[in-house]
Amino acid sequence: MTKIGNTLIISFIIFSCILLSFIIFSCMLTPVIGAAAENEIRIADNAGDWGYPSPYLAYGRGPGYLRMHFIFDTLVWKDETSDLIPLLAEDWEYIPEEEVYIFNLVNNAKWHDGEPVTANDVAFTIDYMKEHPYGWVMLDSVDRAEAVDEHTVKIYMSDSYAPFMEDIGGTMPILPEHIWKYVENPMDYVDTDAFIGSGPFKYVDFSKEHGTYKYEAFDEYYLGKPNVDQLIYVKTADTQMALQLGEADLASIKPDMAETLTEEGFVVIAGPHYWNKNLMINHNKEPLDSVVFRQALAYAIDQDEFVNKSLRGYGKPASHGLISSDSQWANPDVLDYPYDPDKAKEMITSLGYELEDGLFTKNGKALELEVLVSMIGTGGQSMPDRDGEILKNQLEKVGIQIELISLETKIVDQKVINWDFDLAISGHGGIGGDPKILYEKVIQVPGTKTSPNTARYNKSEELNNLLDDLMHEMDPAKRQEAVFEAQNVYARELPAISLYYPTWYYAYNPDAGVEWFYTIGGVSKGIPIPQNKIAMIRSSAHGEGGIEQTAMQTTDNAQDTPMMPFLGVFAILAAFYIKRSGSKRNI
């Protein structure tokens, strides 16, 4: 074979090797490019299962609602402030003479299946939830809803309802009529269509076994595609460790680690006191049915000891009027119970008990109570609990024998719902938002699923009347007066006893692209967790102009791709060998 022929063969082989290398390299690089294009946020959670993320199946505590709120939008919402901002409704008004609310909807909202969101969907949701009560919303004062046109809905009231805008406008998830009109029992509805909403994220997966949730951004979201492609909740035993190992981008942390994590580059945010650890009381049992005995319990409890030992000082004693002392609705002069074990003993003695060898007895029977305890914590994060032992020691000091029973939080909740308990250490949020929380935590909302943190107490006519006033009084000054007095009567009756407010800390990775925040008053109707969806549907400059459509990065320009350097080398080498081959042919 000639030298020219050999040169051509060698050139062809070299050229083929380069081409093959390019193909292999491309195949190896493609997953990397795909991964880089996905902007993923992972939230650590050590409780895991908070129910299916649909309105009726989400577990009835704050974390359950948050899992759902990424998928389903409400008419209005809140950002960092307590002020309402537009969501599905771009504007609204209340006409007091007619007792009607008018909402004008955005005209470009879509359901995740592509169908348009209309006023009919809002009217349908009202009708559906009146027929199938939804535990987070009260519709007793709503008469009916009417679609005036495609994007205007009127909601007619049968009675004034002071919390309407936050409770119904800002909490009620709007349902797609074309799907839910066929659903007869919402508590059994787990078909794929059950998770079609109009929110910024679409449902992808929920693993009840592993306690994980996965969502993806809704490209056609009416406020602009979220600046996060995927949102994932991961269950982990140690949320803080998951954050430090890069397995999560947002997590609750131990308060004493705040400074360390800040030095490591994380952003740490301290929450307001919108969550309380409390003592649920079975007021249907003797002697717990006695106001005097419940007041004696309050005097026997040293709130400062809980703060110092359980919280290591990261918190403060709670108001006995339930409303958070951080709330604009807090009564600064609410009835209080300073720690006084001698007064507690005196009050118990007045009920016919005798103190013998440090233990109260009556008719030869010891005064003994069971206390249910769990690892409940704010934001759904389980945590080691010293409260049971602290409470046991405090109550036994005044002559009450205590048996502690430790159970999972959901089992404790169910026992409370079934009245199968004496005392239970529990906790809940919502105490920084609208004072309707007083009503909700005293009176079971008619027709709704029983809440484990509602006292279901109706033995005080005075308290009932005040709760009715704060629900229906539309004059702000008169309503505040009713709210202040309701806190005093609540503190006197003690349907439950608030123990303390923890100061909870979250930390997040700022490089993940989301600037998380606490909402004044809490997310929706008062959830004290910094997982407001608004953080993911506006630019990072969210503090300077409200919701903004996110500027998405594109890869349309070839020079922006990581393949370009390799393609350039390939082109140079190919040209070199072709030129070299041609030169030899000319020799």
For 577, phi then psi, to 5°, come to: -70, -35
* CA–CA gap between residue 127 and residue 169 (Å, rounded): 15
* CA–CA gap between residue 152 and residue 101 (Å, rounded): 11
Distance of CA 200 to the CA centre of its chain: 16
| pLDDT reported for residue 538 | 72
Secondary structure class of 201 (helix, strand, coil): strand
| pLDDT reported for residue 23 | 45
C-alpha distance from residue 434 to each of 166, 438, 467, 517 (Å): 7, 9, 13, 19
Looking at 458-563, list the stretches that DSSP marks H as alpha helix, in order from N- to C-terminal side: 461-472, 476-493
* CA–CA gap between residue 564 and residue 562 (Å, rounded): 6
C-alpha distance from residue 285 to each of 93, 180, 282, 409, 412 (Å): 48, 42, 6, 22, 18
Beta bridge partners of 144: 156
Residue type, 384: P
Q: Which two tokens stand for residue 379?
A: 């934001």
On the CB side of 73, CA atoms within 13 Å amount to 30
* Helices H / strands E in the chain, number of each: 16, 22
CA 110, 113, 116 angle in degrees (round to 5)? Answer: 30
| pLDDT reported for residue 376 | 74
pLDDT tens-digit map of 410-465: 899 999 999 999 999 999 998 999 999 999 999 987 767 788 999 999 999 999 99
Q: Which two tokens stand for residue 478?
A: 């008169």
463 Cβ partners below 8 Å, 6+ apart? 442, 457, 486, 489, 490, 493
Q: Contact 344/399 with Cβ under 8 angstroms?
A: no
CA 75, 79, 84 angle in degrees (round to 5)? Answer: 45
Q: What b/e sequence results for 159-196 when a residue is b if at least 16 CB atoms lie within 10 Å of its CB, and e otherwise?
A: eebbbbbbbbbbbbbbbbbbbbeebeebeebeeebbbb
321 Cβ partners below 8 Å, 6+ apart? 330, 331, 334, 335, 486, 487, 488, 490, 491
pTM of the model: 0.78
Q: Which two tokens stand for residue 273?
A: 């006191």
* CA–CA gap between residue 111 and residue 33 (Å, rounded): 30
* CA–CA gap between residue 568 and residue 573 (Å, rounded): 9
Q: Which two tokens stand for residue 58?
A: 């989400």
Q: Contact 496/400 with Cβ under 8 angstroms?
A: no
Looking at 119-165, list the stretches that DSSP marks H as alpha helix, in order from N- to C-terminal side: 119-131, 164
DSSP-assigned letter for residue 235 = E
Long-range contact set of residues 79-82: C-beta below 8 Å, sequence gap at least 24: 79/517, 79/519, 79/532, 79/534, 79/542, 79/546, 79/547, 80/517, 80/518, 80/519, 80/520, 80/532, 80/543, 81/519, 81/520, 82/328, 82/519, 82/520, 82/521
* CA–CA gap between residue 372 and residue 450 (Å, rounded): 19
pLDDT one digit per residue (tens) for the chain, 587 residues: 544 445 544 454 444 544 444 444 444 444 433 433 479 999 999 888 999 999 999 998 899 999 999 999 999 999 888 889 999 999 999 999 999 999 999 999 999 999 999 999 999 999 999 999 998 998 999 999 999 999 999 999 999 999 999 999 999 999 999 999 999 999 999 999 999 999 999 999 999 999 999 999 999 999 999 999 999 999 999 999 999 999 999 999 999 999 999 999 999 999 999 999 999 999 999 999 999 999 999 999 999 999 999 999 999 999 999 999 999 999 999 999 999 999 999 999 999 999 999 999 999 999 999 999 998 765 445 555 789 999 999 999 999 999 999 999 889 999 999 999 999 999 999 899 999 999 999 998 776 778 899 999 999 999 999 999 999 999 999 999 999 999 999 999 999 999 999 998 999 999 999 999 999 999 998 999 999 999 998 743 333 333 433 322 222 333 333 333 333 433 333 444 434 444 333 33
